[in-house]
Copies of this chain bind each other. A is one copy, B any other.
Amino acid sequence: MPELRLNLIRQEWVIIAREKGKMPEDFVKVKQRKRHPDFQETCPFCPGNESKTPPEVYTIHDGNGWRIRVVPNRFAVLSKEGERTRTNSGLKKGVNGVGIQEVVIETPLHNLTTATMPIEQLKEVIHTHKNRFLEMYKDPRIEHVIIFKNHGSASGTTVEHPHSQVVGVPVTPHQIRSRIESAMRFFYDTGDCLMCKTVSDELSDGTRILFNTEYFVSFVPYAALSPFHIWIFPKRHSGSFADIRPEEIKDLALNLKSTMTMLYYGLAYPDFNYIIRSGKPGHVDSEFIHWYLSIVPRVVTASGFELGSGMYINPLVPEMAAEFLRNVRIQENE
Contact = CB atoms under 8 A, between A and B. Distances in A.
Size category of the A interface is 35 or more
A308 B75 contact: no
A324 to B, nearest CB: 20
B93 A8 contact: yes
Contacts of A90: 197, 201
Contacts of A304: 148-150, 155-156, 165, 273-275
Interface in A255-304: 273-277, 294, 296, 301-304
A185 to B, nearest CB: 13
A26 interface: no
The count of identical subunits is 2
Contacts of A1: 79, 82, 96-98
A313 interface: yes
Interface in A59-88: 75-79, 82
A8 B175 contact: no
Contact of A173 (B12, B16, B303): B12
Nearest to A9: B91
Given A1-B79, A1-B97, A305 B10 contact: no
Contact of A94 (B4, B77, B173): B4
Interface of A (DSSP majority class): mixed
Given A156-B304, A309-B169, A222 B92 contact: yes
28 contacts: A1-B82, A1-B97, A1-B98, A2-B78, A3-B95, A3-B97, A4-B95, A4-B169, A4-B170, A5-B92, A12-B173, A12-B175, A13-B95, A13-B171, A17-B97, A19-B97, A20-B75, A20-B77, A90-B201, A146-B305, A147-B308, A150-B304, A156-B306, A173-B309, A173-B310, A176-B309, A273-B303, A276-B308
Given A19-B79, A146-B308, 17 more contacts: A2-B79, A3-B95, A3-B96, A4-B170, A5-B94, A12-B174, A15-B77, A77-B315, A91-B197, A91-B201, A148-B307, A150-B303, A153-B301, A156-B303, A178-B310, A275-B304, A294-B308
